[in-house]
Structure 1
Amino acid sequence: MRLNSLYAVLLLALLLPCMAAAQSLRGALDWLPRGSLNLHDLTTRPAETLSGGEAQSFYSEFGRLAFRSPDILGGNARKAGLSCQACHANGHVSSGFFIPGLSKQPGEVDLSNALWHARAENHRFDPQKIPSLRGVLARPRFGFDQRSGSLREFTREVIVMEFAGAEPDALLLDALVAYMRLLQPTDMPDSAITLRSELAELARFSRLLILPLAEEDAALSARITGMLRGQIGFMHERFDQAGPRTILEQWSLNLRDIATLAEAGEWTEARRRRAALTAALLAPPQMLLEAENASLYAPDRLAAWLKRR
């Protein structure tokens, strides 16, 4: 479970943090027990229904992005590219989630294990069923043992005490709670994870930059661009063709440049670059779209790739 040197070079070349998609392919191979990746959760996701639809506040949209970013966790979870989304896909349950040695059956995991946080190790094998977060607003208590009556405090405990993450700031906790409170039960069917769906998500998240660039907040701009670049990194993993990878790398570098311009106080140009990037995401190059069937977005190719590992 060591970091593959080729993957490390790729991350360095892209200037990406080791950070969503469901989870990292190569990150999981390097940092989790073999057999931790499964085809179902890498090709499908549960439907997501939010109170109020897609028109949401900055807080809930930022929380939605952070929910999909391993950047908020620590230790092996972050190294493996896991996020809240990896266990709670679209706020529901990743039904195929399985970690050999930490799960008895798919859809459950032992969180009191040193793999996640040495201080949380209780020296027992006690995997618990992953709960859905749909309708969480109506619940009086939270956690496997119903230990907390505060969704905000419970969220902090998960990040810090279970997954060895840094102490979250107020904005991050406000945003995560704002997003989770919107999750609603739904009978809509699961949907396929496709390149087009990932691009649509990225375009939606890119609009989060409008507010910090308007408020001329360089720190928040950098925070969001970092998370967005992490999402592009997961898309990049699905391709081995040079053309699509170059397009994704350029988008990542564009985001880096937006953060650099914001830090330098070049706000007009940063806002222009943000608008141009969103437009490119909404109308991606045909070459990128045509490469999907030859990538690991294609279930048959992904199945063969997983089998070889």
Structure 2
Amino acid sequence: MDRGGETRRFLTGALLAAACASALAAAATQAPLRAARWLPPERRLPALAQAPSECLAPNDDPQTARRIAIGRAAFRTPLLLGGQAARAGLSCDSCHRNGRGNPDFSFAGLSGAPGTADVTSSLMSSHRGDGVDNPTAIPDLAGPAQTLKVPKAREGRALETFVRGLIVQEFDGPEPAALTLDGIAEYVRAVSSQACPPAQSQPIALATYLSDARAAAQAAQYALDARDPATAHLMLSAARTALGMIDERYAAPEFARERRFLRDADLELAALQHAVGAGRPDAASRIAAWLARMPRWGDPLRDREPESLFDRTRLAAALGGASAARSPGE
């Protein structure tokens, strides 16, 4: 056994983790939104105001459509990856925004130039970390087949094997439930250049995250129907992630009422996770009730959306300085 090599990798990982923690701590005092921590200052405003358009092909088969919905929600929660990624708040969507790419991604200890990531970083993985700084470009999952690391074909389940390795080894995450794994693979397969809308980007709005929260809760119902409580629990985590994305846009003191609505909705989701874990037979009906109550707290949020950080002018002011500048390519 190469104990010297193992020691070097361990020390490298420890140093990278310390550097990452320091960088995130410094950024946390400056950035009003978590995702700003892995964006270059000059790109924060455009990247936090707009997202690449999602190129998601519809599927007429109800079971496949449900798996796609499950995969889409899993793609958006850091809890899927676990480990350092979850602690930092990184999800699959952080690198592949709306299933695409992220030319602005710049994470301390993980990226080189913006839009790159080291998939063998000791910062994120004790399995694949090689102690070598070798970031590569993040691919667009709707891009040409030759730019992707693995074929999307269902035959041989190469995509499922790749996704599992990414979660369990590249990010030291927990073993994904079967339905979760199948769902992510189906979601990635459904991301296609042929399904791209005319507009290359779309504004990030309150409706974006409300829709994500609703879709994730519905996906939890699908998972319960399939008798997969582990996936249902993760789907509820994805719904909570979406609420957190809303909450940080309403962080100012004058939004205390709106944030209380969000906190109460989040506490209900936490209680639902407990009910799912305990095998409560009323879990599905309680999720339906949560969905039915969404307008009660969603509508007040919509009323004040123009005053929140969903408004581009207010977001620019909150980001400040170079991050508020409009880049030439925007």
Please give the range of the TM-score, normalised by the shorter of the 2 chains.
Answer: 0.7 to 0.9
Is 1:124–2:132 an aligned residue pair?
Answer: yes
**Residues 28, 80 of structure 1: 8 Å contact kept:** no
Other-structure match for 1:105? 113
Return the match for 1:258 from 262, 272, 276: 272
Is 1:297–2:305 an aligned residue pair?
Answer: no
**Residues 95, 107 of structure 1: 8 Å contact kept:** yes
Please identify, of 42-51 and 172-181, the stretch whose mean Cα deviation from structure 2 is larger: 42-51
**Deviations along 1:50-104, whole A, 9 cap, x unmatched?**
2326975321111110011111113322111111111111111122212255434
**Residues 216, 262 of structure 1: 8 Å contact kept:** no
In the TM superposition, 1:99-248 aligns within 5 A as: 99-100=107-108, 102-134=110-142, 142=149, 150-185=158-193, 186-189=196-199, 190-214=201-225, 218-240=229-251, 241-248=255-262
Q: Secondary structure at the match of 2:190?
A: coil
Q: Structure 1 residues 140, 301: CA separation in 2 closer, same or farther (over 3 Å shift)?
A: closer
CA distance in 1, matches of 2:33, 2:241: 13
Q: Displacement, 1:281?
A: 2.8
Q: Structure 1 residues 263, 162: CA separation in 2 closer, same or farther (over 3 Å shift)?
A: closer
CA distance in 1, matches of 2:88, 2:42: 10
**Residues 218, 259 of structure 1: 8 Å contact kept:** no
**Residues 38, 97 of structure 1: 8 Å contact kept:** no
AA aligned opposite 2:113 = Q
Q: Displacement, 1:200?
A: 1.9
In the TM superposition, 1:10-49 aligns within 5 A as: 25-26=33-34, 29=37, 38-49=44-55
Question: What is the TM-score when the length of structure 2 is the normalising length?
Answer: 0.72
CA distance in 2, matches of 1:218, 1:102: 33
CA distance in 2, matches of 1:274, 1:38: 35
What root-mean-square deviation, in Å, do the aligned CA atoms of Structure 1 and Structure 2 show? Answer: 3.4
Q: Displacement, 1:115?
A: 2.3
Q: Structure 1 residues 272, 153: CA separation in 2 closer, same or farther (over 3 Å shift)?
A: closer
AA aligned opposite 2:208 = S
The answer to which structure has the higher helix fraction is 2
Q: Displacement, 1:216?
A: 6.4
AA aligned opposite 1:304 = A
Q: Secondary structure at the match of 1:229?
A: helix
Question: What is the TM-score when the length of structure 1 is the normalising length?
Answer: 0.77
Q: Secondary structure at the match of 1:237?
A: helix
AA aligned opposite 2:270 = R
**Residues 121, 128 of structure 2: 8 Å contact kept:** yes
CA distance in 1, matches of 2:225, 2:109: 48
AA aligned opposite 1:184 = S
Q: Structure 1 residues 225, 263: CA separation in 2 closer, same or farther (over 3 Å shift)?
A: same
Q: Displacement, 1:215?
A: 6.0
CA distance in 1, matches of 2:43, 2:120: 21
Return the match for 1:287 from 291, 296, 300: 300
Q: Structure 1 residues 53, 161: CA separation in 2 closer, same or farther (over 3 Å shift)?
A: same
Is 1:50–2:60 an aligned residue pair?
Answer: no
CA distance in 1, matches of 2:172, 2:279: 34
Please identify, of 244-253 and 42-51, the stretch whose mean Cα deviation from structure 2 is larger: 42-51
AA aligned opposite 1:289 = R
Q: Structure 1 residues 274, 141: CA separation in 2 closer, same or farther (over 3 Å shift)?
A: closer
Q: Structure 1 residues 149, 127: CA separation in 2 closer, same or farther (over 3 Å shift)?
A: farther
Please identify, of 49-58 and 188-197, the stretch whose mean Cα deviation from structure 2 is larger: 49-58
Q: Secondary structure at the match of 2:53?
A: coil
Size of the aligned set, in residue pairs, is 283
Please identify, of 117-126 and 247-256, the stretch whose mean Cα deviation from structure 2 is larger: 117-126
**Between the two proteins, what is the percent identity of the paired residues?**
31
AA aligned opposite 2:266 = S
CA distance in 2, matches of 1:87, 1:140: 15
CA distance in 2, matches of 1:301, 1:107: 26
Q: Secondary structure at the match of 1:303?
A: helix
Is 1:74–2:82 an aligned residue pair?
Answer: yes
